[in-house]
Structure 1
Amino acid sequence: MTDLYQRNNLFSVDGLVAVITGGGSGIGLMMTKALASNGAKKVYIVGRRKEKLEEAASFNPSVIIPVVGDVTSKDALKAVASRVESETGYINLLVCNSGTMGPVTGVNNREVSIAEYAKAAMNQSWDEVTSTLNLNVASVLFTAYAFLELLDKGNKHPAFSKTKSQILVTASIAGFQKQPNQSMAYKASKAATIHVAKNLSSELWPFDIRCNALAPGLFPSELASSLISDSKADPRDEGSFDKSYIPAQRTGDEEDMAGTILYIASRAGAYLNGNILVIDGGRLNVMHSTY
């Protein structure tokens, strides 16, 4: 009975097969390295930039498999799923992590006239707004759909039988924010992404496939670079930010994300379904939000 409480059993991902979109950089790369360092059998990382994927795979090339693919294309998603099926036959975890920030008005709503604000807002590209929704929302749905049968096969495979197969969606605390002067398209897309994750959980439980979501705050990444560029020190070091901005006084780091993915992907997180896990150092506590 004491084995039930051993960390090596609770947080083990030995034998797990995962697919992570956007796994070559940022939060996706942190997840990739965490799984590859702790016994995962295979981690397929999917993205558009071959060089980034290959660089990420060099961390553990026997486990991390780079696959060039466009998650906004049904045909590309089908091709990636087909490759994974031919090489491995199943997956246990799908991480829908690809995303983009979206356009901003570039003006401060407290410092301009309504005419100036309206002009700046209308100058945003319609295509940039819709492409943000396309990547951050629609691609999550179709990535999930493309891998459903492989997730089902994962439930039937004995190599990783500690949990039911799972989809993990990378959302953002932006989905809860009511902060001005940030990308409206991004915030709306992440609110939608959160709702997509909740509804996939409701849709897929009859098939024993779970769905959960992460709502990260600031983590070092290309996506967040503009938000943390003012920090003069390493933004991951405590004291890099005022407590009124982030109560933890730092961004999240590799250990924060590694611990999170190991919890969610292992036996420790097996009872999660429909959960939105906020990991933000307390940021939502000090900003206007709907959380």
Structure 2
Amino acid sequence: MSKKIAVVTGGGTGVGKAITKALVDDGFEVVITGRRKAVLDDAVAEIDASAIHAVACDVSDRAAVAALFKTVEDQFGRLDLLVNNAGVFSPSVPLEELPADEWNKAVGANLSGTFFCTQEAFRMMKAQQPRGGRIINNGSISATTPRPNSAPYTATKHAITGLTKSASLDGRKFDIAVGQIDIGNAASDMTAKMSGGVMQADGELRPEPTIDAVHIARAVAYMASLPLDANVLTMTVMANLMPFVGRG
């Protein structure tokens, strides 16, 4: 096929939609997925209906993920890029008060979904000709510096870093390059509350700056543009004035 084929999870909104647009601009044909078909269809119509395909899928559901990648294989015959972007925040409450279902929701969306999609991508990328492809995981600076009351999100993002490194090792002999982008305060529906104040390590609420998601999208597009003998293992793109480096 003349175009490279990409799958972007959580591709209908926010950072995922910005990544989808950047990949289409770079010549990819993109399958976007998420739980809400209407939201996906809106993104397709907004960006480019000729280059984007919407498939509803809850990535925490193993069978649904298998069906998603079977659709990709049947329609396109190969997969060149997987962007594991889908994820959720958990309620900002004291650790001991977090309901079990909120923990399970975070693990399912942020970690299990990424693993399930990576499994399916590995199977396709190993078997296709030419062999190989690239996987880019959405990590977070929370993997190294957590916020208060963020145990589920932080734990899953730590796990994503481990999965990225392990998959990178396992994939390299099959020409599968795996990397991760750690994002700090990209503007989206998920980070909208930051302008009104976010709890800091000292317990105070302070507004935090955000950056346009297009900067994240451009970084992912760069990672995706590399030949498979080169890889960005980790990249951090963040709001320069956010309280991350040093003591605030």
Letter in 2 for 1:265: A
Deviation at 1:154, TM superposition (A): 5.4
Letter in 2 for 1:165: G
The residue aligned with 2:163 is: 196
Deviation at 1:65, TM superposition (A): 0.4
The residue aligned with 2:195 is: 228
Work out whether residues 90 and 153 of structure 1, in 8 Å CA contact, stay in contact via their aligned partners in 2: no
C-alpha change, 1:278 and 1:268, in structure 2 (3 Å) is: farther
Where structure 1 has 5 or more consecutive residues not aligned to the other structure, the ranges are 1-13, 106-119, 158-163, 232-243
The residue aligned with 2:81 is: 93
Larger radius of gyration: 1
- Candidates 69, 76, 86, aligned match of 1:81: 69
- Candidates 235, 243, 247, aligned match of 1:277: 235
Output the CA distance in 2 between the equivalents of 1:29 and 1:205. 28
Q: Secondary structure at the match of 2:193?
A: helix
Matches within 5 A, 1:160-179: 164-179=132-147
Work out whether residues 154 and 165 of structure 1, in 8 Å CA contact, stay in contact via their aligned partners in 2: no
The residue aligned with 2:102 is: 128
The residue aligned with 1:117 is: none
Deviation at 1:15, TM superposition (A): 2.1
Q: Which has the higher strand share?
A: 2
The residue aligned with 2:7 is: 19
Output the CA distance in 2 between the equivalents of 1:178 and 1:189. 11
1:147 paired with 2:121, answer yes
Where structure 2 has 5 or more consecutive residues not aligned to the other structure, the ranges are 199-205
The residue aligned with 2:32 is: 45
Output the CA distance in 1 between the equivalents of 2:234 and 2:129. 23
Deviation at 1:148, TM superposition (A): 1.7
Deviation at 1:222, TM superposition (A): 2.1
Output the CA distance in 1 between the equivalents of 2:97 and 2:212. 35
Deviation at 1:254, TM superposition (A): 3.8
Matched residue count? 237
C-alpha change, 1:34 and 1:48, in structure 2 (3 Å) is: same
Letter in 1 for 2:145: Q
CA RMSD of aligned residues (A): 2.3
Letter in 2 for 1:267: L
Work out whether residues 137 and 192 of structure 1, in 8 Å CA contact, stay in contact via their aligned partners in 2: yes
Letter in 2 for 1:16: K
Identity of aligned residues (%): 26
Query: 1:119-143 CA deviation, whole Å, 9 max, x = no partner?
Result: x543220111122122211111111
Q: Secondary structure at the match of 1:167?
A: strand
Q: Secondary structure at the match of 1:122?
A: helix
The residue aligned with 1:56 is: 43
Deviation at 1:98, TM superposition (A): 0.6
Output the CA distance in 1 between the equivalents of 2:137 and 2:161. 8
Structure 1 stretches of 4+ moved >6 Å: none
Query: 1:150-175 CA deviation, whole Å, 9 max, x = no partner?
Result: 22355517xxxxxx511110011111
Q: Secondary structure at the match of 1:147?
A: helix
Query: 1:185-236 CA deviation, whole Å, 9 max, x = no partner?
Result: 11111111111111111111121111100100011112222223459xxxxx
Work out whether residues 19 and 218 of structure 2, in 8 Å CA contact, stay in contact via their aligned partners in 1: no
Query: 1:230-275 CA deviation, whole Å, 9 max, x = no partner?
Result: 59xxxxxxxxxxxx987xxx422143123212210103785115x1
C-alpha change, 1:268 and 1:262, in structure 2 (3 Å) is: farther
Work out whether residues 174 and 187 of structure 1, in 8 Å CA contact, stay in contact via their aligned partners in 2: yes
Letter in 1 for 2:39: K
Work out whether residues 91 and 153 of structure 1, in 8 Å CA contact, stay in contact via their aligned partners in 2: no
Query: 1:88-127 CA deviation, whole Å, 9 max, x = no partner?
Result: 000100011110001321xxxxxxxxxxxxxx54322011
Q: What is the TM-score normalised by the length of structure 2?
A: 0.87
